[in-house]
Homo-oligomer: A and B are copies of this chain.
Amino acid sequence: MAGNTFGRLFKVMTFGESHGEALGGIIDGCPPGIDLDFDAIRNEMQRRKPGQSAIVTQRKEEDEVQFLSGIFEGKTTGTPIGFVIPNTNQKSDDYSDIKDTYRPSHADYVYEKKYGIRDYRGGGRSSARETASRVVAGAIAKQVIPDIKINAFVSSVGEIFIDKPYQDLDFSLTESNPVRCPDAASAAKMEEYIRQIRKEGDTVGGTITCVIQNVPIGLGEPVFDKLHAELGKAMLSINAVKGFEYGSGFCGAKMKGSDHNDLYNPDGTTKSNLSGGIQGGISNGMDIYFRVAFKPVATLIQKQEVLDNLGNIVELQGKGRHDPCVVPRAVPIVEAMAALVIADFYLLLNNVKK
């Protein structure tokens, strides 16, 4: 009820503050007998990790995950998988100046008001560092559904958009540049723009598109737990996300039905796919695709007005090691959350299939 659990049959509970002892979580419901690929898990952690390129934060976090249970001789046993990611490089002193202040567009103020107490160091539980646990769980979820392909990529930074449909992109190029944009020309522009923003001590928003392919028909539970409703919730639960659309999305709201309907082929596939692979909340076997909007990071390396706990507006000089643009590092997080949703519905599907 307190919001730190995700999923039903593939259930994840997470814990951890950015500057506490450790982050971690428990996965309950992972099917037994999966020969875990630990390199794949480590690789996903690397993709999310700070310091991986010149355009992301230069904080050093080791992000080594330790598995404590649920795995025997390399295989999942069906019992809960406990894991811990120690916080090894936290400089708490960096944060003494925000102990009594609430930074604009951060969660400092609302945590204080809701709980009457907060771990102010680095944002505590509200820090995006929390997503490290999601990436671990998502990396295991991917191994529950090995045939389903989940590919996310940066589709815009500020006003710079990829101007191609996803079908024209080669997802194998996503990791070839630090922006994680599979379109080389756009990637170069985005990277240049992020460097410039960073010089200004500013930040910028962006969007991530995610494509899920080779999906079985039948995932999703009407009426409240529609597949896209759960995907939407999963994405909106990621730090800094402001919007979610799938298939035709907000553009679809401008269209006529005669242009929007996806006509069938005789084999049950559809000629167009404005539906985004989901009908009535249930996957129809076509590609699922959706787009996620991220606001600009709130921490600026500039002077800003902040509120203190005495009700004064004071100036605070932003400092530290922060991301000028969050979307490159958010790509593996989007994939992880998508994997959690899909794996969960995949396990549920077994119960109604004839």
How far is A296 from B349 in the complex, measured between Cα atoms in Å?
29
Q: Are A110 and B282 in contact (CB under 8 A)?
A: yes
Closest chain-B Cβ to A128's Cβ sits at a distance in Å of 10
Number of interface residues of A (CB under 8 A): 147
Closest chain-B Cβ to A115's Cβ sits at a distance in Å of 4
Within 8 A of B (CB), among A262-312: 262-268, 270, 274-276, 279-284, 293-300, 302, 304-307, 311-312
Q: Are A106 and B280 in contact (CB under 8 A)?
A: yes
Asked if A109 is an interface residue, CB under 8 A from chain B, the answer is: yes
Q: Are A281 and B107 in contact (CB under 8 A)?
A: yes
Asked if A317 is an interface residue, CB under 8 A from chain B, the answer is: no
Within 8 A of B (CB), among A1-53: 1-6, 8-9, 11, 13-17, 20-26, 28-29, 31-33
Q: Are B255 and A204 in contact (CB under 8 A)?
A: yes
Identify the closest chain B residue to A318 (Cβ). Answer: B257
Q: Are A304 and B84 in contact (CB under 8 A)?
A: no
Checking B20, B253, B255 against A68 with a beta-carbon cut-off of 8 angstroms, the contacting residue is B20
Checking B78, B222, B253 against A295 with a beta-carbon cut-off of 8 angstroms, the contacting residue is B253
Asked if A236 is an interface residue, CB under 8 A from chain B, the answer is: yes
**0/1 interface trace, chain A 238-263, chain B, CB 8 Å (1 if under):** 01001111111110111111101111
Within 8 A of B (CB), among A194-238: 197, 202-207, 217-218, 220-226, 228-230, 232-234, 236-237
Quick check: which of A57-65, A117-125, A145-153, A173-181 contacts chain B, the rest being far away?
A117-125
Asked if A67 is an interface residue, CB under 8 A from chain B, the answer is: yes
How far is A15 from B268 in the complex, measured between Cα atoms in Å?
28
Asked if A75 is an interface residue, CB under 8 A from chain B, the answer is: yes
